[in-house]
Structures are given as C-alpha cells and as structure tokens.
Chains A and B, each alone.
Chain A
Amino acid sequence: EAQVTQNPRYLITVTGKKLTVTCSQNMNHEYMSWYRQDPGLGLRQIYYSMNVEVTDKGDVPEGYKVSRKEKRNFPLILESPSPNQTSLYFCASSSPGGNSPLHFGNGTRLTVT
C-alpha cells in the first residue's frame, strides 16, 4: 500500500530535550516536506526536500532541522524544543513535474511542556 509513515503518532516532551520525528514514504517520491498545523493558521510548511541531500527552508523553519540522506526518509529534528513548537506535524511527499498532489502521513501530535 502506498503510504507516508510518521512516527511517533503522539509525543510529550520537555523544553530543551532533543527529539526526532521520523518520516518514510514507499512511493519513490523525489519531493518530501514537513508541515505544522495550528488552530486558525491551517498548515504551514517547515522544510522541504527536492531530492537526496537537497533541502530548503519553508515558511516557518526556525527551531527545526531536517536531513535527506535516503530518498525514502525525511526526519524532522527539534534540537531544543520549546512550548511554541507544540503542534500537529505532517510529513508529505509527491512526485516531481506536473501537478502531482501531496500525499500526507497521519500526523504527529507533539506537546512540549
């Protein structure tokens, strides 16, 4: 089954404790990206990657890091999480060219206390 898999689904952590949210897709998509969803703001892009070793900032990159060492994986790293990063996070992937829609994972609910 074609899918984008995120882990964990739920995560509660404390301020400053480094964490990683993993994302993997099995559709051989070149493009991957991370979004966060907040009430009243919709989904906002954090980072995106056009291919292996090629990443760039989205609209709200502060406080986040990403890496793309393999085509299928695109982890999101919070080196020193803060309470304002409490949010619902989505990983997405798509194939290049034309207007291929984004395929989203099921989300990671992060709470930083």
Chain B
Amino acid sequence: DQQVKQNSPSLSVQEGRISILNCDYTNSMFDYFLWYKKYPAEGPTFLISISSIKDKNEDGRFTVFLNKSAKHLSLHIVPSQPGDSAVYFCAASLGGTSYGKLTFGQGTILTVHP
C-alpha cells in the first residue's frame, strides 16, 4: 500500500515557466514532508521541507505548499531552469525525521526545455 503517491511520472516545462509537482499521502499521522531531487548516477539530495503546522515554505525559487485537509502537497519551481531537470521525490515522516525513516513517493521526472 503506497502511503505517498506521485501520480505524474513525468512533467515537461519550458525554461522560465513554473513547474508544479504534486504529491498525495494517505496517512494523516505524517507530520513532516520533504522534497528530494535526484540526478542520474547520484543519490537524492534534500531540497526543501515543511512541517505539518505550516501550509507554505519558501526557499528561493522553490516553494512547497501543504493542504492537510486534502492530504496533498506540491512543489513549485519558479522560474524553471534547465538545470532543474531531474527526478523529484516527495517524502513524509512521522515525528520529524526520527531514525531517518522516510516514506517516499514514486518520483516525477521533470524536464525543463531551453
């Protein structure tokens, strides 16, 4: 049973436009959410996170929105750049990132065209 789902396997965006990546979860006990970015032949790297007590967190071009009632979070990248092309994973945890236990979505491949 996939508790964290990314229903779009891929997304294609023009450089300079907004990229919106979506993620849904089923476990209402999750209280911390993260986005990771992964380039080929590298490990995932942390991008941005949000606690369940917030509904928005911003870091430069990246903004994560959390809608707890809908059990939905999204990552907005504005403006998108070709270097943003990667696989994006959303992840959720219980009680912060205790013990390094994260539940990941399947990932979304983002391609930003010049």
Contact = CB atoms under 8 A, between A and B. Distances in A.
Interface of A: 4, 31-33, 35, 40-45, 48, 50, 56, 58-59, 90, 92-94, 96-107
Nearest to B50: A99
Nearest to B95: A99
Given A45-B102, A90-B43, 4 more contacts: A41-B2, A93-B100, A101-B97, A102-B44
B42 A107 contact: yes
B65 interface: no
Contacts of A35: 104
Contact of B100 (A41, A42, A44, A92): A92
Interface in B51-98: 51, 89, 91, 96-98
A107 B45 CA distance: 12
A48 B99 contact: yes
Lowest 3 A-B CB distances belong to which pairs?
A104-B43, A101-B46, A42-B104
A102 B46 contact: yes
Interface of B: 2, 4, 6, 32, 34, 36, 41-46, 49, 51, 89, 91, 96-107
Contacts of A99: 32, 49, 51, 96-97
20 contacts: A31-B99, A33-B100, A41-B106, A42-B104, A43-B89, A43-B91, A43-B104, A48-B100, A96-B98, A98-B97, A99-B51, A101-B34, A102-B46, A102-B97, A104-B43, A104-B44, A104-B45, A106-B41, A106-B43, A107-B42
A11 to B, nearest CB: 15
Contacts of A98: 96-97
Nearest to B9: A40
A100 B101 contact: no
A40 B44 contact: no
Contacts of A96: 98
